[in-house]
Amino acid sequence: MSGNLGPLGDLGPDAVLRALATVREGIIVDLSVPLDPDLLPPVDPGSGEPLARRDLMTPEAFRDAAGSGARGFHVDAFGGSIHQGTHIDGLAHLVEAGAIYGGRREADLRTDRGWIDGGVETVPPIVTRGILLDLAAEGPLPGSTVVTRDDIETALDRSPASLEPGDAVLVRTGKIRELETNRDRFLDRQPGIDLDAAILLAERGMSIYGSDTGGTEPQPVTDWERTVHAELLVHRGIHLLEWLDLDRLAAELERRSRGAFLLVTLPLRIRGATGSWIRPIAIL
CATH of the domain at 111: 3.50.30.50
Residues 64 and 189 in one domain: no
> For residue 23, with 0-12 CB atoms within 10 Å meaning exposed, 13-18 middle and 19 or more buried, which class applies?
middle
Please report the pLDDT score of residue 46 as a whole number. Answer: 67
Residues 117 and 56 in one domain: no
Alpha carbon distance 229, 238 (integer Å): 9
Residues 67 and 167 in one domain: no
**Cis amide linkage into residue 37, ω under 30° from 0:** no
What would the 3-class secondary structure string for 212-231 be? CCCCCCCECCCCCCCCHHHH
In a domain, 122, yes or no: yes
User: Which residues partner with 259 through β-bridges?
Assistant: none
User: Which residues partner with 264 through β-bridges?
Assistant: 127, 281
Ranges of the chain with pLDDT below 50: 1
* Domain boundaries, position 54: 49-80
Residues 12 and 75 in one domain: no
Alpha carbon distance 196, 209 (integer Å): 14
Rg (CA), the chain: 20
Please report the pLDDT score of residue 53 as a whole number. Answer: 93
Residue 253 region by backbone torsions, left for phi larger than 0, else alpha for psi between -120 and 50, else beta:
alpha
Which residue among 80, 96, 129 closes a domain?
80
> For residue 10, with 0-12 CB atoms within 10 Å meaning exposed, 13-18 middle and 19 or more buried, which class applies?
middle
In a domain, 36, yes or no: yes
In a domain, 101, yes or no: yes
How many folded domains does the chain comprise?
2
Residues 252 and 144 in one domain: yes
Please report the pLDDT score of residue 3 as a whole number. Answer: 67
In a domain, 1, yes or no: no
Q: Which residues of 160-192 are buried (b: 16+ CB within 10 A; e: fewer)?
A: ebebeebbbbbbbbbbbebbeeeeeebbebbbb
In a domain, 87, yes or no: yes
Alpha carbon distance 166, 56 (integer Å): 43
Residues 13 and 57 in one domain: no
Which residue among 34, 61, 80 closes a domain?
80
Alpha carbon distance 282, 181 (integer Å): 25
**196 contacts 168 by C-beta, under 8 angstroms:** no
Residues 54 and 162 in one domain: no
Residues 54 and 127 in one domain: no
> Where is 28: in which H helix or E strand?
strand 28-30
Residues 73 and 125 in one domain: no
Please report the pLDDT score of residue 49 as a whole number. Answer: 78
Residues 53 and 144 in one domain: no
What would the 3-class secondary structure string for 108-140 be? HHEECCEECCCCHHHCCCEEEEEEEEECCCCCC
Residues 37 and 53 in one domain: no
pTM for this structure? 0.95
In a domain, 71, yes or no: yes
Dihedral sign of CA atoms 104, 276, 28, 212 in order = positive
Please report the pLDDT score of residue 2 as a whole number. Answer: 59
Residues 76 and 176 in one domain: no
